[in-house]
Structure formats: structure tokens, C-alpha cells
Amino acid sequence: MIKRRDAVTARDAEAQTPHPDYRPLTDGTLMTCKSIAVDLIAAEYPKESGAWTIQEIYRDFPFINVKVRRTHDDPNLAHKRRLTILLIEETYEVSLIVDNESIIALYHDSLQPLPNSVPKEAIRDALMPYLTLKPYYVFDQALDQYVLCGLLDSVHAYLPATNEVVLLRDL
């Protein structure tokens, strides 16, 4: 996340000058941002132009963030489709469009079961030599003390298609 690091003077502190990010957006700015978002969605997603709703518009220097959500998504979906449009505040130029569709697809792909041809025990046995257990202390609020736990980790992955163990960085 990009954050501005302006120096605050003693005069600003005494006057309790609000941070520039907290200045309210004017009606003109809101209308301009809405218009840009509608035009952008119509151009980038022409088949879905009526399926989006602007959820939030806020300032995050040097950008204005426009959060847009799909209107007709199934309410039972674990993840809703969203767009974030970053506009440069002075020029209203589109700086970046972030669509979470690829992340949702990745999530759904990870939920697919492993092929039945490879039993879980075989995968466990293949990865066992590559696992590391590191001690970690975690604060347990119920006990009001730290509890020794372990982090089970590996830099390897099992590929069921080829029945081989490979380094994660090679994927």
C-alpha cells in the first residue's frame, strides 16, 4: 500500500489539521469518479456493464479508490467478484484496475480434490523427508500465557500427475 509521509508541523498539530486523506470528497469529485467507473466498466467488461454497483469511493493519497462489486453474484459464494479502480486525484486518470476474478479462480481450483489414483498416505510418505518442524510460541488468551506450538513447513510440493516431489520455486 502506498502511504504519504508528509512532515507535520507544530502549527498543524496545534490547529488539529485533519490529514488530507480525511478531507471529504466533493459532490463534483464523486460524480466524476462514478462517471469514470461506469465508462471504464462498459469499455473493459462490455457484457457485464449492468452487473456492477459502486460500493465505496474514498481518498488514499495520491489516489482515489473506487470499489465496485458485482450486483448479481450468488449470495452463497465464498468470495464475491470485486474491482478496485485507482484514479490519480489531480487528473482523474486511471492508474490501476484490480480485478479479483483470477484470485477467486485460484481459490476454486485449490478446492478440487486430489485425483483418486494417489492416496493421501502416499503423498504424506513422499513429503515426509522434506518437512521441517520449527518451534513457535503462541499466546493463548484463554490461558493468559504463551504455549509452545510448532510450524510444519516445506519448500517442496508433490505433483500427483507425475508422482514426484519438486521444489516450490521450480513450479
Centre a 10 Å sphere on the Cβ of residue 48 and count the other Cβ atoms it contains. Answer: 14
Quote the Cα angle for 51-1-48, to 5°. 10
Tens-place pLDDT, residues 20-57: 667 788 899 999 999 999 999 999 888 887 788 899 99
- Is 0.85 surpassed by the pTM of this model? no
Tens-place pLDDT, residues 138-171: 898 888 999 999 888 999 998 877 888 999 888 7
The dihedral built from the CA positions of residue 142, 147, 152 and 155, taken in this order, carries a sign that is positive
Over the Cα atoms of the chain, what is R_g?
24
